[in-house]
């Protein structure tokens, strides 16, 4: 059996000085999970847009126009029901957040 040895040689170079911009960049990279500013903010934008009632802008933002149109059409009879419309509205808010987070996760894995 042959013995294998790993030799690690330390570098003689001193690490450079940290700049304020570099520190901010590292902090932002850690906060955003390495997916960049738009990847970190996309679900929040979808969530904010989905709070506009009756229009389902969160689904349109996620490019799910058919789903948004379907919810818009379904809401017309549900508006007459005080109980069912809020359920559809809350579901659309959660769905917009969920789909947008999935888009970001898929883009990160590619």
Taking only the tens place, the pLDDT of each residue in 41-85 is 888 888 999 999 889 999 998 899 999 999 999 888 877 777 788
Over the stretch 32-51, which tens digit does the pLDDT of each residue have? 666 666 677 888 888 999 99
Confidence of residue 106 (pLDDT cuts 50, 70, 90): confident
Cα distance between residue 44 and residue 24, in whole Å: 21
The domain spans of the chain are 36-109
pTM of the model: 0.52
Q: Distance from first CA to last CA of the chain, Å, rounded?
A: 42
Average pLDDT over residues 14-26: 73
Cα distance between residue 44 and residue 35, in whole Å: 14
Tokens in use for 7? 């030799």
Q: What is the pLDDT of residue 23?
A: 77
């Amino acid at each position: 059996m042959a013995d294998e040895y790993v030799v690690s040689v330390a570098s003689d170079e001193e690490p450079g000085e940290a700049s304020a911009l570099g520190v901010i960049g590292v902090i932002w990279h850690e906060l955003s999970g390495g997916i960049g500013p738009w990847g970190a903010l996309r679900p929040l934008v979808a969530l904010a847009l989905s709070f506009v009632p009756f229009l389902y802008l969160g689904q349109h933002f996620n490019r799910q126009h058919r789903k948004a149109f379907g919810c818009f059409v379904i809401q017309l009879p549900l508006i007459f029901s005080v109980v069912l419309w809020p359920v559809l509205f809350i579901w659309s808010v959660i769905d917009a957040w969920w789909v947008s987070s999935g888009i970001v996760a898929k883009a990160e894995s590619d």
